[in-house]
């Protein structure tokens, strides 16, 4: 089950990568348009990124459980 | 959308080539007969709880491996009697310990009885994680008693440690509690939010120290995060006001015939929120520990010191990232706890 679990973890990373990439890109755009709102945008960005990362880590945990059995 | 699809195909292509690489690597591994380094075993050993603080292994002149570890007390409750001894008596899992009428041995890191009615006795031992938790409690009490005393002395600007802790406390109050719970009720829940924030932060940071007092994977232990999330769950639901329960059992503006769907979904929502909370903290910290250990393991997998600079460089990078994650996860846990509590106690304006 090891390689299959690795593929699963990899797929989860794709999703998280797209999610965090989109958040980061939008935050950059927002900061470029309104540099005075940088700190607020950054906080919101980090929270959203952490939430996306959390979902990706669910998948990693499932992969780990599969791989360790 | 097009770019998204493009990136997915690219990533899948990468994935497939990597799988091929992996396959050829495992073929190569089977040919070698020497003692293999099992990275998974080492990593799993380090992220799981233990009855001793393992430091290192050394091989003596006769080629026998000796583990060096700091023993921790074992406290067991079996058939109404309390058995207390040091984990060093297990001789790293080689020996059986006889105390009173009971004989114990280490079964894959878990204490089991050789013969008896219950195979696994009730275990109150000070394990690696418990030790780490007690240490963080001790440090937190020390820090906050010192800070509290400095405020009792004078009413001037905070000095010393207080000037470092005050912004953090104010941050939890002004950026986490007040915006999410509301000015009126924030102070009621502030003690819990502050406790959980500093407790998780301290344990995350202790877990990042790679040697003795730290290195326990406490916040990456599912029992620990379940306990914290359960406390948030209790506080949220015990403080839920009429509106909170009304939104669950009779959501306003939803026709009655939808109730058979809405009520189970809303009830699931009550449990899903703390479950997401506990898995997020657990998975983030465990993943961090696994990544750092995997990068270190690279040196032993490739069996060359040449890879060490790469490995150490990446570990340094990951460690710095983990510092951010340690603070971020403490923040996220506190923020989401505040959010859930805020949703439960919010006063809705009735028109």
Q: Which residues of B touch A61 (CB under 8 A)?
A: 279, 282-283, 286
* CB–CB contact A60 B283 (8 Å): yes
* CB–CB contact A6 B8 (8 Å): no
* CB–CB contact B19 A6 (8 Å): yes
How far apart are the CA of A40 and the nearest CA of chain B, in angstroms? 11
**Would you list the domain boundaries of chain B?**
50-123, 128-345
Contacts of A10 (CB under 8 A, 6+ apart): B11, B15, B18
List own/partner pairs for A20-27 with CB under 8 A and 24 or more apart.
A20/A49, A20/A52, A20/A53, A23/A48, A23/A49, A23/A52, A24/A49
* B118 in contact with A, Cβ within 8 Å: no
| ∠ Cα B322 B324 B328 (to 5°) | 110
Question: Residue B35: pLDDT band by 50, 70, 90 thresholds?
Answer: low
- The mean predicted confidence, pLDDT, of chain B is 81
Domain span at residue A7 reads 2-68
Question: Rounded to an integer, what distance in angstroms lies between the CA atom of residue B137 and that of residue B203?
Answer: 9
Cβ contact B275:B229 at 8 Å: yes
Q: Is B249 exposed, middle or buried (0-12, 13-18, 19+ CB in 10 A)?
A: exposed
DSSP B174-242: IIIIHHHH-HHHHHHHHHHHHHHHHHHHHHHHHHH--STTS----TT-HHHHHHHHHHHHHHHHHS--H
- The mean predicted confidence, pLDDT, of chain A is 85
* B19 in contact with A, Cβ within 8 Å: yes
Q: Which residues of A touch B283 (CB under 8 A)?
A: 54, 57-58, 60-61
> Looking at residue A42, what is its pLDDT?
84
Mean pLDDT confidence for B182-209 = 91
Question: Rounded to an integer, what distance in angstroms lies between the CA atom of residue B280 and that of residue B144?
Answer: 28
Question: Rounded to an integer, what distance in angstroms lies between the CA atom of residue B237 and that of residue B171?
Answer: 25
For B52-71, what is each residue's pLDDT tens digit?
787 777 777 777 777 788 88
* CB–CB contact A54 B11 (8 Å): no
How far are the Cα atoms of B13, B190, B238, B336 from residue B342, in angstroms, in the given order?
Answer: 45, 12, 13, 9
How far apart are the CA of B255 and the nearest CA of chain A, in angstroms? 32
Closest CA to B203 of B145, B128, B91, B259: B128
Question: Residue B30: pLDDT band by 50, 70, 90 thresholds?
Answer: very low
> Looking at residue B80, what is its pLDDT?
73
* CB–CB contact A53 B22 (8 Å): no
* CB–CB contact B329 A3 (8 Å): no
Question: Residue A21: pLDDT band by 50, 70, 90 thresholds?
Answer: very high
DSSP B121-167: -EE----HHHHHHHHHHHHHHHHHHHHHHHHHH-SSS--THHHHHHH
* B126 in contact with A, Cβ within 8 Å: no
Q: Which residues of B touch A3 (CB under 8 A)?
A: 19, 22-23
To probe the interface with A, which of B2, B3, B11, B272 has the most A CB atoms within 10 Å? B11
Where is pLDDT greater, at A5 or A31? A31
Closest CA to B147 of B132, B128, B127, B167: B167
For B249-280, what is each residue's pLDDT tens digit?
888 888 888 888 888 998 998 998 898 888 88
CATH number at residue A29: 1.20.20.10
Residues 145-184 of B with CB under 8 A from A: 175
DSSP summary character for residue A35: G
Q: In chain B, which residue's Cα lies nearest the Cα of A47? A: B332
Closest CA to B284 of B347, B208, B341: B208
Mean pLDDT confidence for B288-314 = 87
Mean pLDDT confidence for B81-92 = 76
Residue A26 has pLDDT above 90, yes or no: yes
For A39-50, what is each residue's pLDDT tens digit?
888 878 877 887
* B55 in contact with A, Cβ within 8 Å: no
How many domains does chain A contain in total? 1
> Looking at residue B20, what is its pLDDT?
40
| ∠ Cα B316 B43 B321 (to 5°) | 25
Cβ contact B293:B43 at 8 Å: yes
Residues β-bridged to residue B75: B84
Residue B112 has pLDDT above 50, yes or no: yes
Q: Which of B66-70, B140-144, B172-176, B276-280 has the highest mean pLDDT?
A: B140-144
Question: Rounded to an integer, what distance in angstroms lies between the CA atom of residue A52 and that of residue B283?
Answer: 13
How far are the Cα atoms of B26, B30, B152, B232, B313 from residue B23, in angstroms, in the given order?
Answer: 5, 11, 66, 45, 27
Here the ipTM equals 0.71
Give the nearest partner residue to A54 out of B40, B280, B286, using CB atoms. B280
Question: Residue B243: pLDDT band by 50, 70, 90 thresholds?
Answer: confident
Mean pLDDT confidence for A21-45 = 91
């Amino acid at each position: 089950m090891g390689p299959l679990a690795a593929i699963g973890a990899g797929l989860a990373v794709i999703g998280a990568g797209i999610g965090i990439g989109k958040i980061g890109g939008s935050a950059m755009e927002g900061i470029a348009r309104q540099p005075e709102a940088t700190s607020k945008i950054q906080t919101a960005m980090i929270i959203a990124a952490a939430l996306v990362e959390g979902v990706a880590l669910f998948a990693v945990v499932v992969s780990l459980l599969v791989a360790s059995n | 959308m097009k770019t998204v699809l493009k990136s997915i195909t690219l990533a899948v292509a990468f994935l497939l080539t990597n799988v091929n690489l992996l396959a050829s690597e495992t073929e190569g591994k089977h040919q070698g007969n020497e003692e293999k380094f099992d990275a998974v075993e080492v990593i799993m050993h380090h992220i799981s709880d233990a009855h001793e603080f393992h430091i290192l292994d050394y091989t003596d002149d006769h080629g026998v491996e000796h583990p060096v570890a700091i023993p921790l007390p074992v406290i067991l409750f079996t058939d109404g009697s309390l058995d207390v001894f040091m984990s060093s008596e297990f001789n790293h899992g080689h020996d059986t310990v006889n105390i009173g009428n009971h004989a114990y041995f280490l079964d894959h890191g878990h204490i089991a009885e050789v013969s008896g009615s219950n195979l696994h006795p009730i275990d109150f031992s000070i394990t690696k994680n418990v030790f780490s938790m007690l240490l963080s409690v001790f440090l937190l009490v020390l820090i906050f008693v010192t800070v509290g005393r400095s405020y009792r002395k004078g009413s001037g600007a905070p000095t010393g440690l207080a000037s470092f802790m005050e912004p953090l406390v104010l941050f939890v109050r002004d950026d986490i509690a007040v915006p999410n719970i509301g000015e009126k009720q924030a102070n009621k829940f502030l003690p819990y939010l502050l406790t959980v924030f500093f407790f998780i932060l301290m344990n995350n940071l202790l877990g990042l120290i790679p040697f003795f007092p730290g290195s326990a994977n406490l916040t990456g232990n599912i029992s620990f995060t379940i306990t914290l999330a359960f406390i948030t769950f209790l506080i949220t639901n015990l403080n839920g006001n009429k509106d909170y329960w009304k939104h669950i059992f009779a959501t306003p503006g939803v026709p009655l015939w939808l109730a058979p769907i809405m009520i189970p979904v809303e009830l699931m929502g009550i449990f899903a929120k703390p479950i997401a909370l506990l898995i997020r903290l657990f998975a983030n910290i465990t993943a961090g520990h696994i990544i750092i250990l995997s990068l270190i393991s690279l040196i032993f997998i490739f069996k060359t010191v040449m890879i060490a600079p790469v490995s150490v460089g990446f570990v340094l990078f990951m460690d710095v990232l983990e510092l951010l994650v340690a603070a971020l996860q403490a923040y996220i846990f506190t923020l989401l706890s505040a959010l859930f509590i805020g949703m439960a106690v919010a006063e809705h304006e009735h028109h």
